[in-house]
C-alpha cells in the first residue's frame, strides 16, 4: 500500500484508505501529514523534557503544534507544498527545543544528556525527497500492536480536535497554557513503548477532560467577542447582488469579511458549518449579510457551482474543487489546495486582506436560487437557559418526554439517511438537540414545536456541542438529579472526522453513557478497545430506525 489513513468515517471499507483517500487526499499528502505529526511528536518530547528541568517552552512550541495538527484534519489541506514547508519549519523548531532542553539539563546536572531518545526526536533531513520516503515509514501502521495502535490514534485524533478548537479560541485572543502542555504531553506519550493499555486508556479519558475545557474556552471567546447566539430564523433565499460565500468555522474571518465588504455592493452568505454565524448579534448589524446558501459540506460541488461568486474556505470541510469553479475558490488559515488562491494570515494587530476576493465577486453574477424560506438557529446554552423554567415545566407535565442529542457531522454515506428518518420517526413529545453539520439531515423538516419550544434546537457549530453539555448539566442541577444519565436525554451521535472524536471523548469524560454512534463505528477502534468502551460506557452502534427510536424513548 502507498498510504494508510483511517482517521475519518469514510475510511475505505471501514478499514482504511491505502491508495488515495476517499476525501481526495493523495498518497503524497497523506504521507507528508504522517511525517509532520511524527516531527510534532519529537518537538513535544523535548518541550516536555525541558519542563522537567525548569524550562517552559509552551509559548514557543504550543501554538505551532496546535496549528499544524489542525492542518492535518480531514478535508483541511490537500497541498503537498504546504506540508513540505510545515515539516521544514517543524524540524527547525524541534532543533531549537532540543537545544533548550540540552542546555537546561546541563545547567541542572552539570552533565551532557546521553539517554536514548525516540527517533521522532532525532530523525532529520533537509531533502524534500526524503520527506516522502520517511512519511511512508512512520504512519499509523508503524505501531504493530493493534490495541496500542488504536489507543494511540484515538488520543492523537482527540488532540487534533482539541487543537482545532483551541486554534479558533487563540485567534480570538483566548488561550490557556495548560492546553498546549496537554497536547504535547499526549503526543509525547504516543512515542512511549513502555506504556500499557491501561495507561493509554487513562490518557484517552484525560483527553476528554481537556476537550471539555477547550470547548468551554472557545465558547467564552466566541460569546465575549460576538455576543450570545439568539434564536434566529435564517434566510435561505438569495438577493440579486453579486456575493461571496464563506464556509468553515472561523468567526474572526467572518467578522473581517463583513467589515471589508460593507458598502461594496457585495452580499455575504454562509455555507455549511458557518450557518450559526447568522445567530450572533455582532453579525446581524450588517445589512449585506443575507443568510445561508446550501447545505452540508459534501454537497458543495453542486452548490458552489450554482453560487456563481467566489467562495472562501476558512477551515476544514473543503472537497477537492471541480475545474469549472476552482478559480472561484479561495482558502485561508490552515486550508490549502494546489492551484487555489490562498489568502495569507493577518499581520500582528491587523486584519486579513480580502480585497482580491471582493474584487473577484464584483465581476460575478448573483447566486442561483436553490430554495426559499428560513430555518431556525441560535439555540445555544444562553438561549435555552433563558427559557429553562418553561423547558422544565414541559418535562414535568409530560409535554416533553425526551431530549435526543443528534449532534456531530454529516457525510456522503447513504446510511446517514438514518438520522433524517429518526427525526421523522421521533414522537411529538421528543425534542432534538443538535450542533455541527449533522443538523442538515433534518433542520429543514417541519417538526413543529412544543408549547413554543422548537422541536429542533440548533446550538451551532460542532464546537458548540459544549452548549449541549452545559444545558444537560444545568438541567441536572435544576431538576435535582444525582446522575446526569438519569435525565430524560439520549445521545444518537453522528461522526465523521477528528473534531467529532473530540466531542465524543468530552461526553465520555463527563460519564455520559448509552451513546449510539454511527453511521459506522470508527475503523481505528480495535475490537478490544470497542469492548472497553462498551463495558464502561455502553457505547453502541446505530440500528434500525424504528427499533432505535423505541429504545431512545424508553431511555435504553
Question: What pLDDT sits at residue 541?
Answer: 96
Give yes or no: residues 164 and 259 share one domain. no
At residue 504, the pLDDT reads 95
CA proximity to 534, closest of 509, 506, 497, 508 = 508
Q: Which of 127, 401, 400, 458 is nearest to 275 (CA)?
A: 458
In whole numbers, what is the pLDDT of the chain averaged over residues? Answer: 96
Answer yes or no: do 210 and 241 share one domain: no
Confidence bin at 10 (pLDDT 50/70/90): very high
The answer to whether residue 367 is domain-embedded is no
What are the tens digits of pLDDT across the range 297-326?
999 999 999 999 999 999 999 999 999 999
Q: How far is CA 19 from the centre of its chain?
A: 25
The band of 3, judged by pLDDT with boundaries at 50, 70 and 90, is very high
Q: Residue 234: what pLDDT?
A: 97
158 within a domain of the structure (yes/no):
yes
Determine the Cα–Cα distance for residues 321 and 327; give it in Å rounded to an integer.
Answer: 9
Q: Assess whether 211 and 237 both reside in one domain.
A: no
Tens of pLDDT, residues 418-441: 999 999 999 999 999 999 999 999
With a cut of 90, say whether residue 1 has pLDDT above it: no
Q: Is the pLDDT reported for residue 463 higher than 90?
A: no
User: Are 439 and 465 within 8 A, CB to CB?
Assistant: no
Please check whether residue 372 lies inside any domain of the structure. no
352 shares its domain with 452: no
pLDDT of residue 478: 87
CA separation, residue 368 to residues 43, 76, 143, 374, 410 (Å): 48, 27, 50, 17, 24
Number of H helices, E strands in the chain: 18, 16
Q: State which of 361, 394, 423 marks the end of a domain.
A: 361
394 plus 438 within the same structural domain: yes
16-31 b/e (C-beta count within 10 Å ≥ 16 → b) = bbbebbbbebbbbbbb
Based on the domain organization, do 198 and 73 belong to the same domain?
yes
* CATH code for the domain in which residue 401 is found: 3.40.50.2030
Alpha helices in 397-526 (DSSP H): 417-425, 465-478, 498-509
Q: Could you tell me if 280 and 387 lie in one domain?
A: no
**Do 426 and 548 reside in the same domain of the chain?**
yes
Name the residue range of residue 286's domain. Answer: 232-361
**Same domain? 439 vs 492:** yes
Report how many domains make up the chain: 3
What are the pLDDT digits (tens) for 158-205?
999 999 999 999 999 999 999 999 999 999 999 999 999 999 999 999
Q: What is the pLDDT of residue 149?
A: 98
The answer to whether residue 6 is domain-embedded is: no
Flag whether 368 is in a domain.
Answer: no
* DSSP E strand boundaries for 109-236: 232-235
pLDDT in tens, 324-362: 999 999 999 999 999 999 999 999 889 999 999 999 999
Strand runs (DSSP E) across 236-287, as ranges? 243-247, 267-271
For β-strands 329-332 and 341-343, DSSP reports them as parallel
Closest Cα partner for 412 from 249, 316, 503, 300? 300
**256-266 residue pLDDT tens:** 999 999 999 99
Region 374-394: mean pLDDT is: 92
Kindly state whether residues 460 and 409 are assigned to the same domain: yes
End residue of a domain, out of 196, 224, 252: 224
Question: Do the Cβ atoms of 12 and 18 come closer than 8 Å?
Answer: yes
Of 331, 432, 301, whose CA–CA distance to 379 is shortest? Answer: 432
DSSP 8-state symbol, 485: G
Q: Before 3, cis peptide (omega within 30)?
A: no
Would you state the pLDDT for residue 466?
85
Answer whether residue 49 is part of any domain. Answer: yes
Domain edge (last residue) among 335, 361, 387: 361
Q: β-strands 449-450, 453-454: how paired?
A: antiparallel
How high is the pLDDT of residue 465? 86
Average pLDDT over residues 429-456: 95
pLDDT more than 90, % of the chain: 94
Amino acid at each position: 500500500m502507498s498510504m494508510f489513513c483511517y482517521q475519518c468515517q469514510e475510511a475505505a471499507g471501514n478499514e482504511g484508505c491505502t491508495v488515495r483517500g476517499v476525501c481526495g487526499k493523495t498518497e503524497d499528502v497523506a504521507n507528508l501529514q504522517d511525517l509532520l505529526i511524527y516531527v510534532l511528536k519529537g518537538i513535544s518530547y523535548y518541550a516536555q523534557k525541558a519542563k522537567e528541568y525548569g524550562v517552559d517552552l509552551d509559548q514557543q512550541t504550543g501554538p505551532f503544534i496546535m496549528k499544524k495538527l489542525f492542518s492535518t484534519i480531514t478535508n483541511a489541506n490537500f497541498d503537498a507544498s504546504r506540508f513540505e514547508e510545515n515539516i521544514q519549519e517543524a524540524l527547525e523548531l524541534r532543533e531549537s527545543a532540543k537545544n533548550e532542553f540540552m542546555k537546561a539539563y546541563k545547567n541542572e546536572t552539570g552533565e551532557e544528556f546521553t539517554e536514548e531518545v525516540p527517533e521522532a526526536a532525532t530523525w532529520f533531513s533537509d531533502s524534500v525527497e526524503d520527506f516522502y520516503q520517511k512519511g511512508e515509514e512512520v504512519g499509523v501502521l508503524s505501531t504493530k500492536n493493534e490495541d496500542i495502535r488504536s489507543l494511540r490514534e484515538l488520543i492523537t485524533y482527540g488532540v487534533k480536535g482539541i487543537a482545532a478548537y483551541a486554534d479558533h479560541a487563540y485567534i480570538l485572543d483566548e488561550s490557556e497554557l495548560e492546553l498546549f502542555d496537554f497536547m504535547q504531553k499526549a503526543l509525547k506519550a504516543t512515542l512511549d513503548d513502555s506504556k500499557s493499555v491501561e495507561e493509554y486508556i487513562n490518557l484517552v479519558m484525560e483527553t476528554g477532560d481537556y476537550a471539555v475545557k477547550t470547548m468551554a474556552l472557545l465558547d467564552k471567546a466566541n460569546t465575549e467577542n460576538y455576543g450570545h447566539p439568539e434564536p434566529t430564523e435564517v434566510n435561505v433565499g438569495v438577493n440579486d447582488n453579486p456575493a461571496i460565500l464563506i464556509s468553515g468555522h472561523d468567526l474572526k474571518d467572518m467578522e473581517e469579511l463583513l467589515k471589508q465588504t460593507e458598502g461594496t455592493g457585495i452580499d455575504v452568505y454562509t455555507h455549511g458549518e458557518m450557518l450559526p454565524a447568522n445567530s450572533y448579534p455582532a453579525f446581524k448589524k450588517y445589512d449585506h449579510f443575507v443568510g445561508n446558501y446550501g447545505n452540508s459540506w459534501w454537497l458543495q460541488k453542486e452548490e458552489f457551482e450554482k453560487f456563481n461568486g467566489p467562495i472562501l474556505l476558512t477551515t476544514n470541510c473543503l472537497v477537492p474543487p471541480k475545474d469549472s469553479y476552482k478559480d472561484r475558490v479561495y482558502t485561508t488559515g490552515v486550508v490549502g489546495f494546489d492551484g487555489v488562491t490562498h489568502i495569507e494570515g493577518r499581520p500582528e494587530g491587523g486584519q486579513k486582506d480580502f480585497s482580491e476576493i471582493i474584487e473577484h465577486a464584483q465581476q460575478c453574477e448573483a447566486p442561483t436560487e436553490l430554495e426559499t424560506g428560513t430555518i431556525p438557529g441560535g439555540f445555544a446554552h444562553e438561549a435555552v437557559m433563558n427559557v429553562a423554567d418553561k423547558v422544565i415545566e414541559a418535562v414535568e407535565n409530560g409535554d416533553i418526554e425526551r431530549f435526543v442529542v443528534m449532534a456531530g457531522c454529516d457525510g456522503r454515506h447513504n446510511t446517514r439517511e438514518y438520522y433524517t428518518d429518526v427525526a421523522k420517526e421521533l414522537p411529538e413529545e421528543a425534542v432534538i438537540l443538535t450542533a455541527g453539520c449533522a443538523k442538515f439531515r433534518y433542520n429543514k423538516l417541519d417538526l413543529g414545536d412544543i408549547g413554543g419550544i422548537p422541536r429542533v434546537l440548533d446550538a451551532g457549530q460542532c464546537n458548540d456541542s459544549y452548549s449541549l453539555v452545559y444545558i444537560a448539566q444545568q438541567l441536572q442541577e435544576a431538576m435535582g438529579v444525582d446522575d446526569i444519565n438519569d435525565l430524560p436525554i439520549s445521545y444518537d451521535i453522528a461522526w465523521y472526522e477528528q473534531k467529532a472524536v473530540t466531542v465524543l471523548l468530552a461526553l465520555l469524560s463527563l460519564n455520559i453513557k448509552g451513546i449510539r454512534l454511527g453511521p459506522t463505528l470508527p475503523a481505528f477502534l480495535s475490537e478490544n478497545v470497542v469492548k472497553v468502551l462498551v463495558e464502561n460506557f455502553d457505547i453502541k452502534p446505530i440500528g434500525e430506525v424504528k427499533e432505535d427510536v423505541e429504545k431512545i424513548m424508553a431511555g435504553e
